[in-house]
Amino acid sequence: MNPVLAPTTSVDGPALAERPLPAQPAPAMTEKHSLASDLSELTKARLTTMVLLTTLAGYGLASRGVFNWWTLLHTLVGTALVAICSSILNQALERDTDALMHRTETRPFVTRRLPYTETILGGLALGAIGLAELAWFVNNLTALVAFVTLVVYVVVYTPLKRRTEFNTLIGTIPGALPPLIGATAVTGHFNIEGWTLFAILACWQLPHFYAISWMYREDFRNAGLRMVSVNDTTGARTASHAVISALVLLPVSLLPSWIGHSGLFYAVTSGFLSLAFIAASIRFARQPDRPHARTLFLTSIIYLPLILTALAIDIPIKNYFGW
């Protein structure tokens, strides 16, 4: 969820004030924790790449493959800067809970390898530049959607993870908004293409995160985060949520074909991929253990870029052959 952003961890409240951390020595900068690797982790480089991919998908679907390359460039650069800002603020808010989880305990803010205040100010500056670029070179609506994505992810979703299991549903909103950023960049208004991809991204995130939730349920429990898996001793609830959301994804993934914006190639490909996603979620439900949760997670990671690639390939096929 990801949109802009995918779920990580949180703290109890959105204030960015300095918080004391458990006493620990700051590790030396080693090859494993070089400045480049720290910046990559701080900006969530893989997640930002996925944000840009879904933004490009929204732009491509709304423009029907006829790109204004200058507008596209500013859309991607502005979106990337806002996504980086979101990641920095998210990790600043989450550094106390990150310190309690094995998978996040070596993040740069937790280990003090990067200066706290200066890094936050840098992130805010990048976010402001990104929003200004979208407003000036693209359009105001696109900048507004990017701003809403930032606010919902950092101010709403992040603290909710300490308060309610519904945080996962809320987290799908910022994770699914990047296609709307791309689509509105083309038309200057909300359109069916953007909302279609929003629906696909929202449904995809749920089984994706339920798998993560089960794999790292002990981490989430230790950090006091309220995930479905935390109080699910058998895995039945978590797995049933994953199956239901994967089933909903099947018809939703076919929306581009149903509304006439994609053709037979995309319909067949998305149908096959969605069935594979459902099969992985059912296997997880039958045996809710870490290996099957990991299989579902890996299936979700493969699913999204493949379905977006199929959508991109389908555009020239439909335009040339008419099917």
The structural domains of the chain, ordered by start, are: 37-321 (1.10.357.140)
pLDDT in tens, 164-192: 999 999 999 999 999 999 999 999 999 99
288 DSSP 8-state letter: -
Which tops the pLDDT comparison, 85 or 260?
85
281/303 Cα distance (integer angstroms): 13
**pLDDT (average), residues 222-250:** 94
306/57 Cα distance (integer angstroms): 12
What phi and psi, each to the nearest 5 degrees, are found at residue 189?
-150, 165
Q: Judge residue 97's burial from the number of C-beta atoms within 10 Å of its C-beta, 0-12 exposed, 13-18 middle, 19 or more buried.
A: buried
- Are 229 and 217 spatial neighbours (Cβ–Cβ below 8 Å)? yes
pTM: 0.86
Mean pLDDT of the chain: 88
Contacts of residue 37, defined as CB under 8 A and 6 or more positions apart, other chains included, come to none
Q: Could you tell me how far CA 8 lies from the centroid of its own chain? A: 10
* CA pseudo-torsion sign 295, 301, 306, 311: positive
**pLDDT (average), residues 144-159:** 96
pLDDT in tens, 45-90: 999 999 999 999 999 889 876 789 999 999 999 999 999 999 999 9
Output the furthest CA–CA distance in the chain (Å, rounded): 65
Residue 125: CB atoms within 10 Å: 12
Amino acid letter for position 300:
S
Per DSSP, helices labelled H in the chain are 35-42, 45-63, 69-93, 95-98, 108-111, 116-133, 140-151, 158-160, 167-176, 178-187, 192-215, 217-222, 236-253, 255-258, 264-286, 290-321
Pairs from 151-155 (Cβ < 8 Å, separation ≥ 24) = 152/177, 153/2, 153/3, 153/4, 153/5, 153/86, 153/90, 154/14, 154/86, 154/89, 154/90, 154/93, 155/14
